[in-house]
């Protein structure tokens, strides 16, 4: 017989015996879900026996494991060569119990608490236990966005942990790789509009045996991406970290016993659930909070070159959020009314949403080390099936799901900010975080003559939102990685064939307010020593997802600047002036005065483009956005305005128009704001406001007429049509708010734009032999 | 953890020293904050009505002194509406829905395109304070963005008597 193991026959020899308790993994998981649902406590743990009987032993175990996870991350990241991992820390390690529920996680991109758990659950629900089998020393690799990964460039290595032959848990490690072999280079590219262009996709594949990566995997995976050197070192980073953590768990069990470890691995999740509820009660206020955010998807423009005609339209992502905090401290996040997914790369799987949210929450509501699946269990999510955050089609692209995710969360900052404000915890208020963009990406032949891709993680330092007691931080943070860092110029110049001609704080980028949003920054890059080089832009431009709070303005939106045929080679040779530093005032552009008059310049709001060619000495402006503001700008301290003027954080025109500042400027260019004159001017501005405004209900009559006339841009009508198509409730609320006739309707087919996918869709769950894991109310 | 009335008053004024602010951020929350916060705000308004819940920088839900109705009130004394209504529907509005209106507040290219997004500024019709800026698409309903459960909050969360309501 041409078979080596007669017992296999489609089932691994240890099938049904992995846990040593007579149950398959799936049966065991079903039991936990049942006990959780029946009691409201994770795994039915109404009492935390270990924690209550031996609190010190419990805390010691916690510290050992958490310390080990953080240590493994710090140590393993030194193996990586990719600056995204090594400089920016875009990696994370997480420990799971046997059923894939998260016990503890390291620092870093902790969105993956749930995404790797979702992969483990997918293996459980689809009987990986039988085939391909789960054995000590195995490694599984996953980046499949249809089962919970955020975007394909987050590659996860998942290793089962055994003790005396029985499966007791899992450890997962994830890194953000530089390239995934998508249609265009960079890890979060825009050129593809479906999964099939999103790059190399791996579904919980067994890629290693006996702690050794399989050779077919090594060969196939490295040639499937543009940057194999970075790829392989990233994989070694993940494997090393996972094995360190597996060793740590073995050491803990040797010291404290299996019983203590296993009790801990379940009790800590119930403790996490209770922890979130007690934080909600300690910091917020019961009630309903309604917020909304949007993202522009301007795909009609000729600089967005995609392969499919049906993707060529302008559309808008709509993310309404109703946050209900109940009297018992539990809460519900309801996104009823969200717009449909689309033919682009910004769609998000439900797990990317429900898991990702903790990377934000750990920066505000739960700033603890105890992030695990308990927080998820204390939260009810409603994500309508078919929406951008829960697609119902297996073709969707996800390469930059973050674009929509962080924008969707912008609403949550403001909801929580309202709660903190009303309760008096002013120090906690954050009007939001900047939309993380622009993302500079591209590739070609780099300065070392190799095929290369770039994805600048300077973007991990945008402005934060204003607080209720102080300004936001300038160029300081990214919502998706609490430990973000803009990185050193010297490192980026080694990683990218792009010289810096400037790196400056971006004036007027922080939203105005009594306290202003943190300013973003801008870097001017010149292509240098590259061949066949391409780049593209990726960010918001026509719209802004972050609103201000309580009278503060949103931050500025994006724009793009690129220049070709600049003549800089000759200008450098003859010592002529060069474009250096900031694009200080885009109303009066200055860069153009230091390049050839015949240069080809693109300066507009089209902030999403696809791969375009750049010659050496071409220019690219990478402008990172600022954060939103808090409070009426007329309440801002004159001294703070003066400081902003003197640091070039604010252009003089707007100090007058927005803040009502009356100021002088001396011969050295130093600004002085006159407090008394400013106060008088502000009184005038208040009168001017009242004079130009109308009662809201009067304005509503005009707006209602525009709706009856269907007078709005096609992208606005398209957004409402897709939301109406998914939610009768949203439509009827809309119609009743505007008092529209019963027969008023708005459908995609009347808009005259491609509506491919609006009627006929096929979910992954409809594939034969596939059992998807649903973790939200749909 | 507990803070003095003076410290909370300084926090409200944006004058609290960073060391104390940092302690507030990093330590467990002080349960008595809400009462001290109300006291500080009450001392800063010129009306006799009792503040029930702060809504915005210059806007509170108050218990009207005369008849104990809960209403939404501007610091200047202007009353918008009942506490459970959407005050924005009773405000004065100015909509930035042209490029010209947008470039009044942002440099060129740094404001939204009004074919996609507009800014709705909501003012107090009496004193001209800007209480909120909405940034939705055209056609978007005026959002009723906060409906607090004040009774449950007072009674069950901060253990304070619920102010009387007519
Ligand atoms: Zn007023």
Give B92-124 pLDDT, tens digit per residue.
Answer: 999 999 999 999 999 999 999 999 999 999 999
Q: What is the pLDDT of residue A84?
A: 80
State the pLDDT confidence band at A1, using cuts at 50, 70 and 90: low
Residue A601 has pLDDT above 70, yes or no: yes
Identify the residue with better confidence: A766 or A356: A766
Q: What is the pLDDT of residue A407?
A: 93
Kindly determine whether residue B125 and residue A695, on different chains, have CB atoms separated by under 8 Å: yes
Residue A663 has pLDDT above 80, yes or no: yes
Give the CA distances from residue A14 to residues A134, A138, A301, B63, B107, in Å, rounded to whole numbers and listed in that order.
8, 14, 56, 70, 67
Q: Does A640 touch chain B (CB under 8 A)?
A: no
State the pLDDT confidence band at A113, using cuts at 50, 70 and 90: confident
User: How high does pLDDT run on average in chain A?
Assistant: 95
Residue A368 has pLDDT above 90, yes or no: no
A511 to chain B: closest CA residue: B106
Residue B159 has pLDDT above 70, yes or no: yes
Question: Of the candidates B113, B59, B8, B69, which has an alpha carbon nearest to the alpha carbon of residue A427?
Answer: B8
Residue A7 has pLDDT above 90, yes or no: no
Mean pLDDT calculated for residue range A335-358: 94
DSSP sequence for A470-514: SPPPSS-BBTTBTT-----HHHHHHHSSEEEEEEEE-TT-SPPSS
Kindly determine whether residue A716 and residue B139, on different chains, have CB atoms separated by under 8 Å: yes
State the pLDDT confidence band at A110, using cuts at 50, 70 and 90: confident
Mean pLDDT calculated for residue range A442-460: 91
> Using alpha carbons only, what angle is made at residue A441 by residues A438 and A443, rounded to the nearest 5 degrees?
165
Task: Provide the token pair at A485.
Answer: 């860092």
Question: Of the candidates A96, A116, A105, which has an alpha carbon nearest to the alpha carbon of residue A351?
Answer: A116
User: Which residues 551-570 in chain A show a CB within 8 A of chain B?
Assistant: 551-554, 556-557, 559
Q: What is the pLDDT of residue A82?
A: 82
In degrees to the nearest 10, what's the CA dihedral of A304, A306, A308, A312? -10
Q: Model pTM?
A: 0.96
- How far does A324 lie from chain B, in Å, by closest CA? 10
Task: Provide the token pair at A776.
Answer: 């939200």
CB A382 within 8 A of CB A776: yes
State the pLDDT confidence band at B79, using cuts at 50, 70 and 90: very high
State the pLDDT confidence band at A490, using cuts at 50, 70 and 90: very high
Q: What is the pLDDT of residue B161?
A: 97
State the pLDDT confidence band at A361, using cuts at 50, 70 and 90: confident
Alpha helices in A128-227 (DSSP H): 215-223
Q: Are strands B130-134 and B79-82 parallel, antiparallel or unpaired?
A: unpaired
Q: What is the pLDDT of residue A5?
A: 65
Residue A159 has pLDDT above 70, yes or no: yes
Q: Across the interface, which of A290, A557, A694 has its CB nearest the CB of B143?
A: A290
Mean pLDDT calculated for residue range A411-439: 95
Q: What percent of chain A has pLDDT over 90?
A: 86
**Model ipTM value:** 0.99
Q: Which of A353-367, A382-396, A734-748, B130-144 has the lowest mean pLDDT?
A: A353-367
Cβ-Cβ contacts under 8 Å, A469 against chain B? 11, 14, 16, 21
CB A197 within 8 A of CB A177: no
Q: Which of A360-369, A523-532, B27-36, B72-81 has the lowest mean pLDDT?
A: A360-369
- How far does B66 lie from chain A, in Å, by closest CA? 24
CA atoms within 13 A on the CB side of A267: 19
State the pLDDT confidence band at A112, using cuts at 50, 70 and 90: confident
For chain B, counts of helices (H) and of strands (E): 5, 8
Residue A358 has pLDDT above 90, yes or no: no
Kindly determine whether residue A687 and residue B90, on different chains, have CB atoms separated by under 8 Å: no
Determine the straight-line distance between the first and last CA of chain B, rounded to whole angstroms: 36
Mean pLDDT calculated for residue range A400-418: 93
User: Which residues 412-431 in chain A show a CB within 8 A of chain B?
Assistant: 414, 418, 421-428
Determine the straight-line distance between the first and last CA of chain A, rounded to whole angstroms: 49
Mean pLDDT calculated for residue range A494-519: 97
Kindly determine whether residue A427 and residue B156, on different chains, have CB atoms separated by under 8 Å: no
| pLDDT tens digits, one per residue of A69-89 | 999 998 998 888 887 888 777
User: How high does pLDDT run on average in chain B?
Assistant: 97
Residue B22: CB atoms within 10 Å = 12
| pLDDT tens digits, one per residue of A608-629 | 999 999 999 999 999 999 999 9
Q: What is the pLDDT of residue A8?
A: 66
Q: Which of A350-354, A571-575, B40-44 has the lowest mean pLDDT?
A: A350-354
Mutant choice from A279, A422, A636, A735 vs B, greatest count of B C-beta within 10 A: A422
Q: What is the pLDDT of residue A515?
A: 98
Q: Across the interface, which of A423, A712, A720 has its CB nearest the CB of B34?
A: A423
Q: Which of A325-339, A441-455, A664-678 has the lowest mean pLDDT?
A: A441-455
User: Which residues 93-132 in chain B show a CB within 8 A of chain A?
Assistant: 93-95, 103-113, 115-117, 119, 121-123, 125-132
| pLDDT tens digits, one per residue of A687-709 | 999 999 999 999 999 999 999 99
Question: Of the candidates A16, A751, A708, which has an alpha carbon nearest to the alpha carbon of residue A313?
Answer: A751
């Amino acid at each position: 017989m041409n078979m080596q193991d007669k017992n296999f026959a489609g089932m691994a020899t240890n099938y049904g015996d992995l846990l040593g308790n007579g149950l398959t993994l799936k049966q065991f998981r079903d039991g936990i879900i049942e006990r959780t649902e029946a009691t409201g406590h994770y795994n039915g743990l109404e009492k935390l026996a270990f924690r209550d009987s031996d609190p010190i032993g419990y805390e010691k175990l916690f510290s050992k494991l958490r310390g080990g996870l953080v240590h493994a991350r710090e140590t393993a990241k030194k193996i990586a060569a990719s600056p995204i991992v090594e400089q920016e820390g875009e990696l994370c390690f997480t420990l799971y119990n046997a059923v894939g529920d998260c016990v503890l996680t390291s620092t870093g991109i902790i969105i993956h608490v749930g995404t790797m758990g979702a992969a483990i659950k997918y293996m459980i629900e689809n009987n990986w236990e039988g085939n391909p089998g789960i054995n000590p020393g195995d490694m599984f690799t996953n980046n499949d966005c249809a089962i919970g990964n955020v975007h394909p460039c987050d590659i996860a290595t998942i290793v089962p942990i055994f003790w005396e032959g029985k499966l007791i848990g899992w450890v997962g490690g994830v890194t953000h790789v530089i390239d995934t072999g998508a249609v265009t280079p960079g890890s979060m590219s825009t050129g593809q509009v479906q999964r099939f262009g999103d790059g190399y996709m791996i579904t919980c594949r067994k890629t290693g045996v006996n702690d050794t990566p399989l050779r077919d995997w090594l060969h196939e995976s490295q040639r499937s991406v543009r940057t194999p050197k970075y790829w392989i070192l990233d994989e070694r980073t993940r494997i090393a970290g996972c094995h360190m953590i597996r060793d740590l768990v073995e050491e803990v069990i040797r010291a404290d016993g299996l019983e203590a470890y296993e009790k801990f691995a379940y009790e800590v999740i119930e403790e996490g659930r209770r922890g979130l509820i007690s934080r909600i009660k300690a910091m917020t206020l019961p009630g309903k909070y309604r917020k909304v955010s949007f993202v522009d998807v301007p795909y009609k423009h000729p600089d967005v070159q995609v392969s499919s005609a049906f993707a060529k339209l302008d559309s808008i992502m709509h993310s309404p959020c109703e946050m209900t905090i109940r009297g018992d401290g539990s809460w519900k996040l309801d996104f009823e009314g969200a717009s449909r997914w689309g033919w682009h790369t910004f769609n998000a799987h439900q797990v990317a949403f429900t898991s990702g949210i903790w990377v934000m929450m750990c920066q505000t509501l739960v700033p603890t080390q105890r992030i695990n699946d308990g927080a998820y269990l204390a939260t009810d999510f409603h994500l309508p099936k078919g929406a951008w955050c829960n697609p119902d089609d297996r073709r969707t692209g996800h390469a930059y799901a973050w674009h929509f995710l962080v924008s969707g969360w912008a609403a949550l900052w403001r909801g929580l900010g309202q709660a903190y404000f009303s309760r008096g915890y002013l120090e906690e208020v954050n009007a939001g975080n900047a939309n993380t963009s622009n993302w500079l990406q591209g590739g070609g032949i780099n300065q070392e003559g190799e095929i290369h891709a770039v994805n600048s993680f300077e973007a991990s330092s945008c402005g934060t939102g204003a607080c209720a007691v102080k300004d936001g931080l300038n160029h300081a943070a990214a919502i998706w990685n609490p430990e973000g860092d803009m990185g050193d110029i010297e490192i980026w110049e080694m990683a990218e064939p792009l010289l810096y001609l400037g790196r400056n704080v971006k004036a007027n980028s922080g939203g105005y307010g009594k306290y202003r949003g943190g300013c973003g920054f801008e870097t001017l890059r010149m292509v240098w020593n590259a061949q066949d080089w391409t780049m593209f832009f990726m960010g918001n431009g026509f719209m802004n997802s972050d609103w201000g709070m309580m009278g503060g303005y949103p931050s500025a939106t994006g724009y793009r600047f690129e220049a070709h045929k600049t003549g800089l080679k000759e200008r450098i040779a003859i010592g002529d002036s060069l474009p250096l530093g900031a694009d200080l005032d885009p109303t009066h552009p200055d860069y153009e005065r230091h390049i050839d008059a015949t240069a080809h310049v693109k300066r507009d709001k089209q902030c999403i483009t696809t791969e375009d060619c750049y010659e050496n000495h071409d220019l690219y402006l990478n402008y990172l956005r600022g954060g939103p503001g808090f409070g009426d700008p007329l309440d801002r301290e004159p001294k703070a305005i003066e400081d902003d003027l003197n640091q070039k954080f604010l252009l003089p025109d707007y100090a007058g128009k927005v803040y009502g500042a009356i100021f002088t400027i001396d011969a050295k260019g130093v600004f002085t704001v006159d407090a008394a004159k400013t106060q008088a001017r502000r009184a005038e501005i208040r009168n001017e406001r009242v004079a130009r405004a109308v009662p809201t209900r009067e304005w509503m009559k005009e707006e209602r007429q525009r709706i009856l006339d269907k007078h709005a841009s096609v992208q606005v009508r398209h957004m409402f049509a897709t939301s109406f198509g998914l939610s009768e409730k949203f439509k009827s609320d809309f119609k009743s708010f505007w008092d529209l006739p019963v027969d008023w309707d708005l459908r995609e087919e009347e808009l005259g734009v491609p509506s491919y996918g609006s009627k006929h869709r096929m979910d992954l769950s409809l594939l034969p032999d596939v059992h998807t894991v649903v973790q939200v109310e749909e | 953890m507990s803070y003095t009335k003076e410290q909370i008053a300084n926090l409200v004024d944006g004058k609290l020293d960073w060391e104390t602010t940092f302690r507030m951020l990093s330590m467990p929350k002080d349960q008595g904050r809400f009462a001290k916060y109300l006291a500080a705000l009450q001392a800063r308004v010129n009306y006799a009505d009792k503040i029930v819940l702060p809504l915005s920088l210059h806007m509170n839900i108050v218990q009207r002194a005369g008849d104990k109705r809960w209403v939404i009130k501007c610091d200047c004394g202007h009353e918008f509406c009942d506490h459970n209504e959407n005050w924005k529907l009773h405000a004065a509005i100015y909509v930035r829905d042209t490029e010209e209106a947008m470039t009044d507040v942002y440099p060129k290219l740094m404001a939204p395109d009004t074919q996609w997004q507009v800014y709705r500024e909501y003012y107090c019709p009496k004193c001209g304070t800007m209480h909120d800026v909405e940034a939705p698409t055209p056609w978007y309903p005026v959002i009723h963005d906060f409906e607090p459960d004040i009774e449950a909050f007072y009674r069950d969360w901060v253990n304070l008597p619920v102010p009387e309501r007519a």
